[in-house]
Amino acid sequence: MEQTFMKEKKILPLVLTMSLPMVLSMMVNSLYNIIDSYFVAKISEDAMTALSLVFPLQNLVNAVTIGFGVGINAVIAYYLGAQEQEKADQAATQGTFLNAVHGLVLMAVCMAAIPGFLRFFTSEEMVVELGIRYSRIVFGFAVVISLNLSFEKIFQAVGKMTVSMVSMLCGCIANIILDPILIFGLGPVPALGIEGAAIATGLGQVLTVVIYLLYYFLRPIPVKLRMGCLKLNGRVVHRLYSVGVSASLTLSLPSLTVSCLNVILSGFSQSYVLVLGVYYKLQTFLYLTANGIVQGIRPLIGYNYGAGMYERVGRIYRTALYLILSIMTLGTVLCLLFPAVFMGFFTDNPKTLEMGASALRIICIGFPVSSVSVTACGALEGLGMGKPSLVISSCRYLLLMVPAAYVLSRVFGAAGVWHGFWVSEFLTAAVAAALYGKAVRFRR
């Protein structure tokens, strides 16, 4: 089969071949997130605060659809490795349909919940109004987002990383171009303000889906979306959800974390809420880049595990770990050297700038050690072991992070929240190493 290179090619070139297109596309996607926030910040500081408060729900939509996409990816890769073509087609077809349903449900729920959600964190009516205006447009594209992410994971599962890269790049670049045009107006295009940012985001997603569909019909891939495969197969659906639910919960945890931290920080000053929102925009450049490597190894691990090549699975894991560690170490160095420069992209308020620079210097201590938990989660999902992956992420984002932030904030004030990040990363790394080691021994 076309995918046999996954078990034959040398490890480092294979991981780089699979990961680099995704790393590049994730870096551009991260750049888009930063630029999008940069333009919104030019509207007003209230607009940036509104974007920070909407982020948890927006991330929830992405988390559920990406997480289920991870399930699609892992199941397709496993069945291809086991030479079960019919089930691979069923996984692709049924997974795409179910993810579209998820997007539709999320759209309805988030649109209904957003006004009350925003008022829980702020009493500033302008912030609430801006958040509602932005989010209702963004959530209107939830089904498009679910289709986009389903196709992304399908193409990755069959090794077509370059197609995913090109599709994502085109969507992100279109988004970046449309942002200033739609936000501030250009020529016949009226200035739409924060609604313009939301429309630009949605149109970028539409373009990405169109490119996937064009490639799918013009250059067929090894798995097919077929009406004959649409009838739900209990075993396939169970596999999809066994990985997808855990991955979705894993990816949803940052939303809950941000909401909890917003509650703690708002007790000190709303400026800290803005700083937290900016940090999460900035950290995507690191963690989405690392996620590009995770996306590259996930089908490799699934395929080689399905083919019974367990020693090769371990070598793929170690290679990815070293690559992600390099990225995280670089991120720490940059945040220690230039924290004020990064914060300056989003605010010119001297007080907020100083608060943000101090936060970055503290938080970045935990970046390198987080490579252990990031790599372990991706590898476990590739093995089809969603539960231990969920345990690791729960420790990192909720079970350890939130209590640490709360307790330390009682001692050190708002700075204690920032210390909670690196404390939880060190503790989670120990948990991740233990769980991955146990899982590998069990699988063998």
Burial tier of 426 (Cβ tally within 10 Å: 0-12, 13-18, 19+): middle
What pLDDT, on a 0 to 100 scale, did the predictor assign at position 101?
Answer: 94
What is the arithmetic mean of pLDDT over 394-405? 91
pLDDT for 89 beyond 80: yes
3-state SS assignment for residue 189:
strand
What pLDDT, on a 0 to 100 scale, did the predictor assign at position 4?
Answer: 65
Residues of the chain with pLDDT > 90, as a percent, come to 38
Domain range enclosing 343:
2-443
Cα–Cα distance for residue pair 81/85, rounded to 1 Å: 9
**Phi, psi at residue 83, to the nearest 5°?**
65, 35
User: Is residue 276 within 8 Å of residue 261, measured between CB atoms?
Assistant: yes
Q: Per this entry, what is the length of the chain?
A: 444
pLDDT for 247 beyond 80: no
Give the confidence band of 1 by pLDDT, cuts at 50, 70, 90: very low
What is the arithmetic mean of pLDDT over 343-364? 89
pLDDT for 28 beyond 90: no
What is the arithmetic mean of pLDDT over 418-435? 95
User: Is residue 265 within 8 Å of residue 414, measured between CB atoms?
Assistant: yes
SS3 breakdown of the chain: % helix, strand, coil, rounded to 5?
A: 85, 0, 10
The total domain count for the chain is: 1
**Phi, psi at residue 16, to the nearest 5°?**
-65, -40
pTM above threshold 0.75: no
What is the arithmetic mean of pLDDT over 315-338? 93
pLDDT for 27 beyond 80: no
What pLDDT, on a 0 to 100 scale, did the predictor assign at position 25?
Answer: 66
What pLDDT, on a 0 to 100 scale, did the predictor assign at position 352?
Answer: 86
Give the confidence band of 32 by pLDDT, cuts at 50, 70, 90: low
Taking alpha carbons only, the member of 106, 81, 71, 61 closest to residue 5 is 81
What pLDDT, on a 0 to 100 scale, did the predictor assign at position 203?
Answer: 93
What is the arithmetic mean of pLDDT over 227-239? 86
